[in-house]
Structure 1
Amino acid sequence: MAVLAGCSDSPSGETNAGGASVEYGASKAEYAEALGDMDAVELVIQSTGPKGSATGRRFEDYAAAVEEWSDGKITFEFVYSNGAAPPDEVYAALADGRLDVGSVMPSLTPDEFPAATAINDLSHLGSQLPVDWMLQWHGIMFEMAAAVDDADREFEEHGIKLLLPAFGSGAYMPYCTEPGTSKAALKGRGVAAQSRVQNKEAEAMGMNPTSINYAEMYEGLQRGVVDCAFSTVTGAALGGFIEAAPQVGFDAEHGFNSPGGTIAISLARWNELPLAAQQLLYDRLDVLLQANFEGAWENTLAAVQAVQESGGTFQEFDDEVVESLVTVHEQVEKQVADGDAVSDGERLVEVAKQAETDWAERIEELGIDGVGTSYADFAQWYAGGTPDLQPYFDALWDGTAMGERRPS
């Protein structure tokens, strides 16, 4: 189960306090034994949502699992609803000691995190169907983070340790006040975009991208300040603006830029922990992902129902729109390949494209119920309950996606 590990030091300066190394898949008892001599530690963790909310559940379930598996050696003090730091300042709060664990969103501060932003620039890949997207997108994003260590290094340069390189809550799609799946219908429409790549995608479709505060989205759509808003199903459901914009466009195979969040920990705090504690914090990210998947699908159901109740539909784009997206994505991929945001941009793009193919095949082989489910049939699938995702998590951790970055 365990071997003795000395105080290790990574090329980037990451360390640990030594101690036993625990293999992935070890039992709760084996972890408790490895951490038997550890001094108890309390970590301050910030949740993005209120206590008990669907969006906050991933943090709460994760903390509970780590506490249980560490036999109480690692506990958490919660700050809810971004109470210690707003989303664009979490990385600074982790570095200066206000927080120990939190969600950093590189897309909000792209100049601070160019490598992580380059990875997010390729986040359009993968199936856009509600079950497939969650499974395939995470596999693709994790493979990219494992292939190049630039994101890990730039996080450490900011005094933080990147635990989970990405998590998302569904594909971004334009929610519009009026139906429209052709370039002619979309031309000239104002759309609230969430990233630089989404701006390019909107322009390629003939739309006019603009920035609008999330809290003002409903009023902006209702008053005609914008005609559409790029959003995930979670953002649309929780934002309450589907009533004003129930017409949703998508393509099953070609998506929009979908920048996700990350989970990070203070590097100083991380370095103080014994190796087995680091491995436990890493391995129980499967619980965080499980809660994230369940919350995303719960919100997908709410979004689908709200669209139907508001007289809207999920409609697939015409070929001309899809061709425009393909063209802009090829341009983005070339910019990443030729750019200097990561040490080997060409390799990053190659890994991303290969991961898209590999994870499409992998989730088919795993036989997870729901793969291929459309938005129209989602409610019927959801009524059957969340499928067993353990084979999927094993594939992540046993392979390069998460296994490559596991502390050792």
Structure 2
Amino acid sequence: MHRYHRVSRSILTKESEVVTFSRARMLPRAGVLVAAGALFLAGCAETSSGGGGGNGGGEGVAFGATIEEYHEAFADVDPIVLYTQSPSTQGSTGGAFIDAYTSAVEEWSDGKITFDIAYSDAIAKSTEIDNAIVDGRLDIGQVLAVYEPQEFPATSALLDASVLSDQSVVTGVLQSNAWPADVALNTPEIVAEFEDKGMKLMLPAYNAGMNALFCSENRTALPDYQGRSISVGSTAGTQQVSALGSTPTSVAYTEAYEALQRGVIDCSMLSPAAAQIGGILEVAPQTVIDPQAGLAVPSGNMAMNLDVWESLPLVAQQLMWDRLDAFMTGSIEGKIWPVTVESVQEIQQYGGTIQPFADDSRVAVQDANDKIVDAIAGNSGLSDGAGFVTTVRESADKWSGIVGELGYTNETDYNGFATWYSPGKIDIDPYVQRVYEEIFLPYRPS
């Protein structure tokens, strides 16, 4: 069994306890190992897997290959172990997209590719995932560029543009998980931001559900927001909150419960998943999601260590690319919609409702959104900012049309979704196939 350029590390602590680490890699790109104190290196660097050698070599399979054809292609490939992590506990809805992807890759490779998964972000917290991928603690992970706008200026421009996304409960989820990925893979600066740091951008700009305003009291009209304090986590969110006449502030979602309970903040701009994890719905069940006035959508980017990616045999690269369909399905069917159901139920349990903005607030946010998108034209991370703005507007409109063309509609609003929805009620296979073929297939390894 081969793992990629791995060593075991033992550190003798002050208490004379031995701590073993096996998630560090000697990276050819870096060419150095950093040793400190009583660091003892055990073992040796291991080579890439067989069945075609490194740098994506060996025989591949055609697009559309069956699971049996993949099994046959992996027959002579040595076992591969890849290290990753999940943001949630094992088996929970919060990590359903990770479980769906890793399980599909393992099954289709006939067990030749397996994943060592650390749960609850045990290896690297959200602000450090990109570093963990580069330095070898993780082989593949979900990078959250929103926390590092200076490191990922072009990706951050796309995150700001997410205010153009449809925010509705069905069509919005589908549209907002398509057009940003389309734009990202066709924007050289976004791809380069990852590659220049030593990462292969696998699945860009997926989201885990819409952002919402969770408030301790019912607030929909502009006077309701005047002078209030609202916690936000992005520059776009700061501009939107300011447009409502409120004061934006930074409060981690893990601390928002106490801040809301004590009246330090009046609302928090979060995804329903983060609100659930933070227990915020108990103290702030009055929720605003407006399909026509989008709040910045929290997005992630699945990336892989570039050295590891390039040392995989071609068939392994192709499989990991082809099974991005499982990631998309797991994200939408396994996480977003189940979390929406749970959130709605909890909101209602604590006496809240989900409402759109009143007309005056909607206009204020829409005006702010136009300014946010127009300002992207001057983003220093883009060679043609004005062209990028045109592209994102066209792609958002295009994918709204495709979602409608495929027959998807909003049969209910958020309040009714918990009783209307059930697993399997919405067949997203035609959508996932269209997204893969139009967005990802042109970049399939060959």
User: What TM-score, normalized to structure 2?
Assistant: 0.84
* 2:112 aligned to which of 73, 84, 91: 73
Separation in 1, partners of 2:349, 2:152: 41
Letter aligned with residue 334 of structure 1: D
User: More deviation in 378-387 or 37-46?
Assistant: 378-387
1:100 maps onto 2:139 in alignment:
yes
Counterpart-to-counterpart distance in 2, 1:372 and 1:110: 37
Match of 1:137 in 2: 176
Q: Which amino acid in the other structure matches residue 344 of structure 2?
A: V
Structural mapping, 1:1-400, within 5 Å? 16-294=55-333, 295-368=335-408, 371-383=410-422, 385-399=424-438
Q: Is the 8 A contact 2:290 2:356 kept in 1?
A: yes
The answer as to 2:438 corresponding to 1:406 is no
Question: How much does 1:78 deviate?
Answer: 1.3
Distance 1:221 1:351, change over 3 A: same
Query: Is the contact made by 1:146 and 1:404 (CA closer than 8 Å) also made in structure 2?
Result: no
Note the alpha carbon deviations across 1:111-134, whole angstroms, 9 max, x for none. 111111111111112221111221
What is the DSSP-based 3-state SS (H/G/I as helix, E as strand, rest coil) of the residue aligned with 1:20?
coil
Task: Please identify, of 332-341 and 299-308, the stretch whose mean Cα deviation from structure 2 is larger.
Answer: 332-341
- Structure 1 runs of 4+ off > 4 angstroms? none
- Secondary structure in structure 1 of the residue aligned to 2:280: coil
Aligned partners of 2:215 and 2:268 also within 8 Å:
yes
SS of aligned partner of 1:300: helix
- 1:243-262 alpha-carbon deviations (Å, 9 max, x no partner): 21111123222201113111
- Asked if the contact 1:65/1:287 (under 8 Å) is kept, the reply is yes
Per-residue deviation, 1:336: 1.2
Instruction: Report SS of the residue matched to 2:170.
Output: helix
* CA drift at 1:87: 1.2
**Gapped runs of 5+ residues in structure 2?**
1-53
State the distance in 1 between where 2:424 and 2:386 align: 41
Would the aligned equivalents of 2:325 and 2:433 in 1 still touch at CA under 8 Å? no
For residue 19 of structure 1, report the CA deviation from its aligned partner: 2.4
CA distance in 1, matches of 2:212, 2:91: 27
How many positions carry a matched residue from both structures? 392
User: CA contact under 8 A between 1:45 and 1:102: conserved in structure 2?
Assistant: yes
Bigger mean CA offset, 229-238 vs 96-105:
229-238
Distance apart, 1:384 and its partner CA:
6.3
Q: Give the C-alpha shift of residue 326 in structure 1.
A: 1.8
SS in 2 for 1:174: strand
Task: Specify the SS of the correspondent of 1:43.
Answer: strand
Distance change (3 Å), C-alpha of 1:23 and 1:393: farther
Higher RCO structure (Cα 8 Å, ≥6 apart)? 1
1:384/1:117 CA distance change after superposition, 3 Å:
closer
SS at match of 1:253: coil
Give the AA of the match of 1:238.
I
Is residue 129–residue 372 contact of structure 1 (8 Å, CA) maintained in 2?
Answer: no
1:17–1:252 distance in 2 versus 1, CA, 3 Å: closer
CA contact (8 A) 1:147 1:348 kept: no
Alignment deviations for residues 100-119 of structure 1 (CA, whole Å, 9 cap, x no partner): 01111001111111111111
SS where residue 110 of structure 1 aligns? coil
Q: Do 2:181 and 2:206's aligned partners in 1 also have CA atoms closer than 8 Å?
A: no
Q: Which has the larger radius of gyration?
A: 2
Identical amino acids, percent of aligned pairs: 38
Amino acid across the alignment from 1:305: Q
Unaligned 5+ runs, structure 1: 1-14
The Cα shift of 1:386 comes to: 4.0
The one-letter code matched in structure 2 to 1:232 is: S
